[in-house]
Amino acid sequence: MTPEESRCTSCGAVLLGKGTTTDSRSPVLVSGNLRWQSLSAGLFHTCGLTTDGAAYCWGNNAWGQFGTGDTSNASSPELIAPAGTYGLIVAGGHHTCGRASSGALFCWGEGDYGQLGNGLFANQTRPVQVAPFN
């Protein structure tokens, strides 16, 4: 395995990103022939940035934590933002946040407890900018 290849293990097979829903007790190569610079695992979803800066997520998307405007699950990496959009992406419990190239912070997914930082208590299936801290 090269440094850019990634393997995932999980008790939830859809998180593995191998394109199937079969569990694995040992690491499996994430599908798609993508080269990863970083990965972040949430409760039931995983997101990452490729070496060219594109953002991908896979797994459970019931709260819109992929930020693509829908709630469809994916068993393999799904492009959520083109290269250069985010310099960092972090998967939370049922939400995801990213730092844009401009430095602005965005979050999406479950927001029932205000965890998206936009001042609202509602789910968002598209990225919303985090409110400035005063």
**Is the pLDDT at 11 greater than 70, yes or no?**
no
Partners of 78 in the β-ladder:
57
Do the beta carbons of residue 94 and residue 82 sit within 8 Å? no
Q: Lowest-confidence range among 22-36, 52-66, 77-91, 96-110?
A: 22-36
For the segment 25-34, the average pLDDT, to the nearest whole number, is 79
DSSP string, 35-66: -EEEEEE-SSEEEEEETTS-EEEEE--TT-TT
Residue 58 token pair: 């896979």
**Is the pLDDT at 127 greater than 80, yes or no?**
yes
Residue 128 token pair: 């919303």
Distance CA 22, CA 80 (A): 24
What confidence score (pLDDT) does residue 15 get?
Answer: 52
Q: What is the mean pLDDT of the chain?
A: 86
Banded pLDDT at 3 (limits 50, 70, 90): very low
